[in-house]
């Protein structure tokens, strides 16, 4: 009984969409947008990618400086005999410094990722707004993503058996109409025109478009790939042989920086 009521309600809603205020039948116009093509063709995407690369390069440079200082601390430790008070103190200092570098790197990577997630979300909001504008200008009632409509029709005539036919029938996404107006190029054109206009107002940096909430609630974005870890990870030192203890009466040669080293303790 509940199912029948739900179907009846859906039919009434559909009738309201298809029938105008006067009761005359109005054709429902459907559009489609390739969201990946829009993202790739949006000039703001290129600027955001360039900005991300600059930040990753800066982080890599800063991390290399910190790693060099850490390497120097390990070398300073290795100049002393293992087990000596000086060795133990410098070993503790080096381990503490390595943990600080790891923590700093993780925090900086998280900051970069958060910033670019915010940029991507705002870009998606701008795309939603632009799709709505283009659709209204063209008299489109509903806009789907192309991925939702592809393939637009599953060939039921090509079914190889009863179960295959059932699968193809259930897999149909659109029964009528079989095609939709492609708005992708118009959306890209409008987005880039708006972005170019915004950049002219802020020539000293990337265009700042107003941040608004996504249409229909917060957008659920796929997990972004983490920022590339510079220098192969924070302060990873190769495992090497321990320094040899000098013979009695023999003076220990100072470390030159070429000797093998590794964290001990």
* pLDDT range class, residue 150, cuts 50, 70, 90: confident
Cβ 152 vs Cβ 178: under 8 Å? yes
Describe the crossing of helices 43-78 and 85-137 by its angle, rounded to 10 degrees: 180
Query: 16 is written with which tokens?
Result: 């309201």
SS3 31: strand
What predicted TM-score, i.e. pTM, was given to this entire model?
0.59
Q: Which of 187, 88, 94 is nearest to 132 (CA)?
A: 187
What is the arithmetic mean of pLDDT over 166-193? 85
186: DSSP letter: H
Cβ 248 vs Cβ 234: under 8 Å? no
* pLDDT range class, residue 132, cuts 50, 70, 90: very high
Cis peptide bond N-terminal to 155, omega within 30: no
> What is the 3-state composition of the chain as percent helix, strand, coil, each rounded to the nearest 5?
55, 5, 40
| pLDDT of the residue at 24 | 53
Query: 194 is written with which tokens?
Result: 């708006």
| pLDDT of the residue at 43 | 94
Average pLDDT of every residue of the chain: 75
| pLDDT of the residue at 202 | 74
Please state the φ and ψ torsions of residue 182, each to the nearest 5 degrees.
-85, 115
Task: Give dist(CA 190, CA 184) in Å, integer.
Answer: 10
DSSP string, 105-162: HHHHHHHHHHHHHHHHHHHHHHHHHHHHHHHHHTT-SEEEEHHHHSSSS--GGG--SH
Cβ 253 vs Cβ 81: under 8 Å? no
pLDDT digit string, tens, across residues 210-234: 444 444 443 343 444 444 444 333 4
Is the confidence at residue 124, as pLDDT, over 60? yes
Task: Give dist(CA 17, CA 25) in Å, integer.
Answer: 9
**CA geometry: angle at 120 spanning 117 and 121, to 5°?**
85
| pLDDT of the residue at 205 | 52
Other C-beta atoms closer than 10 Å to the C-beta of 191 total 25
| pLDDT of the residue at 153 | 66
**CA geometry: angle at 97 spanning 93 and 103, to 5°?**
150
Task: Give dist(CA 182, CA 193) in Å, integer.
Answer: 19
Other C-beta atoms closer than 10 Å to the C-beta of 91 total 19
What is the arithmetic mean of pLDDT over 173-191? 85
Most confident of 17-26, 103-112, 229-238: 103-112
What is the arithmetic mean of pLDDT over 98-111? 95
What is the arithmetic mean of pLDDT over 25-44? 89
């Amino acid at each position: 009984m509940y199912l029948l009521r739900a179907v009846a309600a859906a039919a009434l809603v559909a009738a309201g969409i298809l029938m105008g205020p006067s009761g005359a039948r109005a054709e429902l116009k459907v559009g489609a947008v390739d969201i990946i093509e829009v993202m790739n063709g949006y000039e703001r995407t290129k600027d955001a990618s360039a900005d991300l690369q600059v930040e990753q390069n800066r982080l890599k440079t800063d991390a290399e400086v910190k790693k060099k200082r850490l390497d120097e601390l390990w070398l300073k430790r290795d100049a002393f005999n293992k087990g000596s008070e000086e060795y133990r103190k410098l070993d503790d200092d080096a381990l503490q410094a390595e943990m600080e570098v790891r923590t700093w790197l993780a925090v900086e990577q998280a900051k970069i990722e958060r910033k670019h997630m915010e940029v991507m979300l705002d870009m998606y909001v701008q795309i939603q707004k632009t799709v709505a504008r283009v659709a209204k200008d063209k008299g489109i009632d509903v806009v789907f993503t192309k991925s939702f409509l592809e393939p637009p029709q599953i060939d039921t005539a090509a079914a190889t058996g009863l179960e295959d036919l059932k699968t193809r029938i259930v897999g149909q996404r659109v029964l009528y109409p079989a095609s939709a107006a492609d708005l992708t190029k118009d959306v890209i054109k409008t987005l880039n025109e708006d972005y170019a206009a915004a950049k002219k107002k802020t020539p000293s940096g990337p265009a700042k478009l107003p941040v608004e909430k996504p249409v229909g609630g917060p957008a659920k974005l796929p997990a972004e790939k983490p920022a590339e870890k510079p220098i192969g990870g924070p302060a990873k030192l190769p495992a090497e042989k321990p320094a040899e203890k000098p013979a009695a009466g023999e003076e220990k040669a100072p470390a030159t920086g070429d000797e093998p080293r590794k964290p001990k303790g």
